[in-house]
Amino acid sequence: MSLLRLIAKDSWLLRLLANHISYFSFAIPISIIFLISKRSTYKRWPQPIRRIIQLLIRIFISNTFSSSLSDVNNRDEISSPTRINSTTSNFTRHRFFKLIFSVFGLQISYLLWGLLQERIMTRTYDGEKFTNSQFLVFANRFLAMIVAYISFKIFYPMKKVVSAGPPLYKYGIISYANCMSTWFQYESLLYISFPVQVIAKSIKTIPVMIAGKFVSGKTYPLRQYLLMLLMAFGIALFLSGYHANDTIKLSLKKATQNITTINGLILLIFYLIFDAFTSNYQKHIFDHYSISFLNMMFFVNFISIILTSTSLVLNGTLLECLLFMQRHRSFLIHAFATSICSSIGQLFIFSTIEEFGPVIFTIIMTVRQAFSILLSCIFYGHYLSWYSILGMHIAFLAIFIHVFAQFKRKVEINIKRQRCIWIKQKITKLIMPSSSMNKNETNEQKQSLLKNDDKQNKTDIGANIILIGAPGSGKGTQSARLVERYQICQISTGDLLRQATQDKTSLEGEKIRRVMETGGLVDDETVMSLIDKSINKPECRNGFLFDGFPRTIYQGEQLEQLLESRQKRLDAVLEYAIEDDHLKRRILGRLIHKSSGRTYHEEFNPPKQPMKDDITGEKLERRSDDTNETLSARLTTYHKQTKPLIDFYRQRNIHRSIDATQSVNDVSKQSIEIVDYLRKQTTYKPSTSAIRQTETDDTLTIKSKSIINQRDVDTSHLSNNFLFIYNAVISVLRDRGII
């Protein structure tokens, strides 16, 4: 390795090879761990190893359990948190001052960063030259990670940095591309001067257009071709009249002889490639995960530190860099200042893009590049002839016109899009009922349509609904929509039971807590006691939606008697059918708003802000019983005790099964249509199969056995439970048509 390091001093290609050998030494064992965790399931390992596998899966492939839930027709519901669009939001005085602050922050940070970068890479320290670009990348990333962590704790004091987001290997992809981009940028300064580097970085529009024309067959308007020619002409003028400071050659014998040669151009091309990939992949992560820019900044820099430090240690250059820093205190100051400017600049980059959009950010950075050339020439004595200055103005004028044209075009597109949405809402409001919502509408539009429909027809308010489905079948999401549609209250026995467990002084709460921790179901008497206390609330005057209740035929009979005493009945029983294997991949990412019962999913129905309720802004929680062990127990209990309830309601012809693997919008549409139809029926209409079964029954004994069995009732209560006997007789008489 020392021989490779010695040879690498004279070749950027060998330095690149040495770095990648170190990267592979880190990446290969990580890849092996990734493959092990990806192919592992919890049940194949004993308990100590299982916990390690769980941790690895969360770290490396935390999104694979729910990845199969993504629906290409429902992408609008899995996007990142809502961002402010610079082209559509009102430009208030507050935002104007924020823009001014962002402009000055970006300009000062990166103008100083450019000057210090040129000082370190193109000048000597007491006759000694520093050429290790990897160490500078390491120093920048280390300080940037600290700044990101401190900023996260300041702006999000109640959150954890590791709370949510993509698996770490996706951050690793960004880290690698970012490290390579920065490394190529530093290395290019060994072969070309800083002003040439800046002007070359500003013309990446030209190769993009050429590749698009000849590779992808794209067509561009005449205006863009003229701007490209104008840009090329300005750059040619600049290069023909530009001369770097000859004093550099006194300290850099070989490197400065190769200035503006093919080596510098190759390094710049690689820089542009990795830089473009980094920004595009970051956008991909922001679009698919609910994370803040500080999450991104922290984890990207954290993994970059691992990569660069591994390279420095294995190549044996870390000690050399530290000794160089010890010998030259001015280098220490410059390196530290460069890292500070880079870290603060990253904060301004992410916040500016998030607040004002990428177009305004590009305009700001284009102006910064022009100032960078000017300051470099002033501080380091580069010579610019009058036609070189003219060429620089022409080139940046063409760049600015190009960016401004893009900005104007996006403004026009957004105005047209908003106008189309407004017209679509008006048309839908006039001619379409709320139950036929379009798949492609946004959540806000659908909620608006539901509210408008309710205002137009007050008779649509009110319904008594039961939702049946295994854990993770989507009952929570659908219940929130049905509650909003019919303006009814939601009664979830799961929430009632969890609230009861929080009462540390109650024997009933302690009993419920012990049962839930083992994955069992709480007995019927306890559940009915909680239901009876909740059903008389004022918010339930228009009707009820029961989520997770009843679970047995006995509970169903008791609920019917409770509603009959209030001269009410059930309107619909909706079963959301889904396979167990599908459920096990869906369940891990659920989040819940405790007080309202609204549910979210980290990946496919995320809140607008991470771990916060969209309406109240209160903190979301995970269900304590959403673990792999309790899930298996809950599914077993569900199939054993709850499934017979489906036959019970099917006989009353108010049960309907809905495929829960459909998109959320399709399930909602079908649910509303079913409820609207069934609640218009004045009486129960038994299904054909139920009538046929009644006709073949000769005695009450046979019928009562088909309704009640030992699996559904605690037999220790049969001898003294008059209500049970009464409900059984009433059910048989009703099915016979006698009452």
Q: How far apart are the first and last CA of the chain?
A: 92
Residue with tokens 């009707």: 543
| Distance separating alpha carbons of residues 569 and 584, to the nearest angstrom | 34
Residue with tokens 């507050």: 94
Q: Region of 295 please: left (phi>0), alpha (psi -120 to 50) or beta.
A: alpha
The one-letter amino acid code at 591 reads L
Paired tokens of 659: 């495929």
| Distance separating alpha carbons of residues 520 and 633, to the nearest angstrom | 7
Paired tokens of 479: 């219940």
Paired tokens of 201: 């970085």
Q: Which residues are catalytic?
A: 475, 551, 590, 623, 634
Q: What is the DSSP letter of 503?
A: -
| Distance separating alpha carbons of residues 243 and 250, to the nearest angstrom | 15
Contact indicator for 521, 637 with CB cutoff of 8 Å: yes
Pairing, β 590-592 against β 489-492 = unpaired
Q: At what angle do helices 12-38 and 168-188 cross, to 10 degrees?
A: 180
The three-class DSSP label of residue 290 is coil
CA-based R_g, the chain, Å? 33
Q: With CA atoms as reference, report the closest residue to 145 among 313, 304, 277, 26.
A: 304
| Distance separating alpha carbons of residues 124 and 196, to the nearest angstrom | 20
Name the helix (H) or strand (E) containing 544: strand 543-547
Paired tokens of 172: 């690793």
Contact indicator for 122, 259 with CB cutoff of 8 Å: no
What does the chain come to in residues? Answer: 739
Contact indicator for 291, 166 with CB cutoff of 8 Å: yes
Residue with tokens 């024997």: 507
Q: What is the DSSP letter of 590?
A: E
| Distance separating alpha carbons of residues 185 and 86, to the nearest angstrom | 30
Paired tokens of 620: 């979301």
Q: Region of 617 please: left (phi>0), alpha (psi -120 to 50) or beta.
A: left
| Distance separating alpha carbons of residues 69 and 407, to the nearest angstrom | 36
Q: What is the DSSP letter of 686?
A: -
Positive or negative torsion for Cα 187, 188, 193, 197: negative
Name the helix (H) or strand (E) containing 383: strand 383-384
Distance of CA 88 to the CA centre of its chain: 23
Name the helix (H) or strand (E) containing 490: strand 489-492
| Distance separating alpha carbons of residues 569 and 543, to the nearest angstrom | 10
